[in-house]
Amino acid sequence: MNKKNRPIAVFDSGIGGLTVLKEIVKEMPGEGTIYLGDTARVPYGIRSPETVIRYSFENTRFLFSKDIKLLVVACNTASSVGLDKIKSVVPIPVIGVIEPGAKAAVKATKNKKIGIIGTEATIRSDSYTRLIKAIDRDVEVSGLPCPLFVSLVEEGWTEGDIVTQIAERYLKEIKSKGIDTLVLGCTHYPLLKQVISKVMGEGVRLIDSAVEVAKEVKAILEISGLKREQKERPLREFYVTDSPDRFIKVGERFLENKIEHIEKITVS
């Protein structure tokens, strides 16, 4: 197939990366997409870097066999610990979610105090801090893992008293640092945007990595002359490593769209 007309591939540890896919489709409705959710092995956020890297290689190998033109590592955890290694094994552009989020945060902060929330593995890796400091070493960065947020979102609890109380408890510490910008450094957190925003208050700007990644993908396709040329409706394929039922049920909420053409596969 002509390289331009090949699909964009996106992988995540599970359902969460659909927040990134949604923004990609919104930004570039004419592009074909293939999504892989490693639902049999989610969550990645509590695993060691070695395990996350091995899973990411297996996901990459599967997607690369599908004749893709660009790969998006939608999982913050996989991007944090394995992006450079993934880039070294495939000869196509590979985009992670950390750099676009870090760049947008540095651009947004006025008082040079940025907060990052994410999984334990993402925060432990210091990936956001390193990139932010590389852009502006005077910025103060505070990281905080919020592991329960993933379960709440998976459960469909994205608003209400209990969610607000949990958010208040988690975010108290980061709020006390006087940050004016907070990066939602996990695929699931954009679904909690309203609650997080309410808890953090008006003075804190939230950075949704998904939106920034979609803009970056668009820019790369334009610069590399890889924009799709075909006019017919593009392909939207989904692959999961566990039963598709739950993925469809929860995923359609993330995507705000129907999930058709889904198949269970083995990547390992």
Stretch in the footprint of ligand DGL (CB under 6 A) among 11-19, 20-28, 134-142, 252-260: 11-19
Site string for ligand DGL, 184-213 (x = CB under 6 A): --xxx-------------------------
Q: Of 5 and 62, which CB lies nearer to ligand DGL in the complex structure? A: 62
Scanning residues 140 to 159, which ones bind ligand DGL (CB under 6 A)?
Answer: 150
Among 71, 75, 167, 240, binds ligand DGL (CB under 6 A): 75
Angle between helices 76-87 and 127-135 (to 10 degrees): 70
- Residues ≥6 apart with Cβ < 8 Å to 213: 20, 23, 24, 72, 74, 95, 97, 100, 101
Stretch in the footprint of ligand DGL (CB under 6 A) among 3-11, 38-46, 136-144, 176-184: 38-46
Contact call for residue 11 and ligand DGL (CB under 6 A)? no
Number of residues lying near ligand DGL (CB under 6 A): 18
Q: Of 97 and 204, which CB lies nearer to ligand DGL in the complex structure? A: 97
- CB-CB neighbours of 67 under 10 Å: 13
Stretch in the footprint of ligand DGL (CB under 6 A) among 62-70, 117-125, 227-235, 250-258: 117-125
146 is catalytic: no
Residue whose CB is nearest to ligand DGL in the complex, by number: 45
75 is catalytic: yes
Q: Of 40 and 90, which CB lies nearer to ligand DGL in the complex structure? A: 40
The least CB distance from residue 82 to ligand DGL, in Å, is 12
The least CB distance from residue 178 to ligand DGL, in Å, is 26
Contact call for residue 122 and ligand DGL (CB under 6 A)? yes
Contact call for residue 101 and ligand DGL (CB under 6 A)? no
Contact call for residue 13 and ligand DGL (CB under 6 A)? yes
Q: Of 152 and 221, which CB lies nearer to ligand DGL in the complex structure? A: 152
Given 179, 186, 196, 200, which residue is catalytic? Answer: 186
DSSP string spanning the chain?
--GGGSPEEEEESSSTTHHHHHHHHHH-TTS-EEEEE-TTT---TTS-HHHHHHHHHHHHHHHHTT--SEEEE--HHHHHHHHHHHHTT-SS-EEESHHHHHHHHHHH-SSSEEEEEE-HHHHHHTHHHHHHHHH-TT-EEEEEE-THHHHHHHTT--SSHHHHHHHHHHHHHHHTTT-SEEEEESTTGGGGHHHHHHHH-TT-EEEEHHHHHHHHHHHHHHHTT------SPPPEEEEESS-HHHHHHHHHHHHTS---SEEE----
- CB-CB neighbours of 216 under 10 Å: 22
Residue ranges that bind ligand DGL, judged by CB under 6 A: 12-14, 16, 42-45, 75-77, 118-119, 122, 150, 186-188
- The catalytic site residues sit at 75, 186
